[in-house]
Amino acid sequence: MAIDPNQEFLVQPVNASWLQCNIECQEGCPVGTNCRGYLNLAAEGRFEEGYILAREPNPVAAMCAYVCSAPCERACRRGDIDRPLAIRAMKRFLFEWHQASGIPDDMPAITPRDTSVAVVGAGPAGIAVARELAVAGHRVTVYDELPYAGGTMLIGVPAFRLPREAIEADVALTERLG
């Protein structure tokens, strides 16, 4: 392949498996959220499906829709051309759309186990681990110094930056799991 010095980007053919495995925005996300998937669903007007896909791997997706540092956007290939896609803003839109729709969250089928687990701390990490343990079938009790869940997100991040409804949504979803 001859390289044209006037060409800004090197273009070479790749196969579909390369494209499926090299999604830089998804690789940039600490929880591996399928950014491309929920952006495509939102573009098609399939907001509820986009919300479900955005929330699925992330127990604190509503909080992240407001305060995530958005490493996915720094990894977005579109940024090589002009500006990265507004991935976090779309997650926020999907969360707000879902809240306004009144559609209840689907709950996963859980096979109960005969075990109880204590989680110390009701901040984002405690909420995340409580959700994963509950989905795995364990009975979970969360202990925290404060009388309410949310941790630093609640007491350290101002409400104009992180609406309390987002914290409450993530906590409520985890509580519904048991």
Which residue type does 101 have? S
Do both 155 and 130 map to the same domain? yes
pLDDT at 167 (0 to 100):
96
Do both 91 and 121 map to the same domain? no
Do both 43 and 88 map to the same domain? yes
Residue where a domain terminates, one of 74, 101, 128: 101
Do both 127 and 170 map to the same domain? yes
pLDDT at 6 (0 to 100):
73
Do both 94 and 160 map to the same domain? no
Classify residue 5: in a domain, yes or no: no
One-character DSSP codes across 99-132: HHHTPPPP-------S-EEEEE--SHHHHHHHHH
Segment (H or E) for 52: helix 47-55
Do both 97 and 120 map to the same domain? no
User: Strand 139-143 and strand 116-120: pairing?
Assistant: parallel
Domain with 141 in it: 116-177
pLDDT at 88 (0 to 100):
95
d(CA 55, CA 77): 23
Per-residue pLDDT of the chain (178 residues; tens, 9 = 90+): 566 667 666 667 777 776 666 778 888 899 989 999 999 999 999 999 999 999 999 999 999 999 999 999 999 988 889 999 999 999 999 999 999 999 988 888 889 899 999 999 999 999 999 999 999 999 999 999 999 999 999 999 999 999 999 999 999 999 998 7
Side-chain-side CA neighbours of 154 within 13 Å: the count stands at 20
**Residue found under tokens 């202990």:** 143
CATH of the domain at 52: 1.10.1060.10
Classify residue 109: in a domain, yes or no: no
Side-chain-side CA neighbours of 41 within 13 Å: the count stands at 18
Segment (H or E) for 153: helix 152-155
Residue where a domain terminates, one of 46, 78, 101: 101
Report the number of distinct structural domains present in the chain: 2
d(CA 23, CA 76): 9
pTM of this prediction exceeds 0.85: no
- Count CB atoms within 10 A of the CB of residue 62: 29
pLDDT at 116 (0 to 100):
95
Q: Where does the chain show beta strands of DSSP type E?
A: 116-120, 139-143
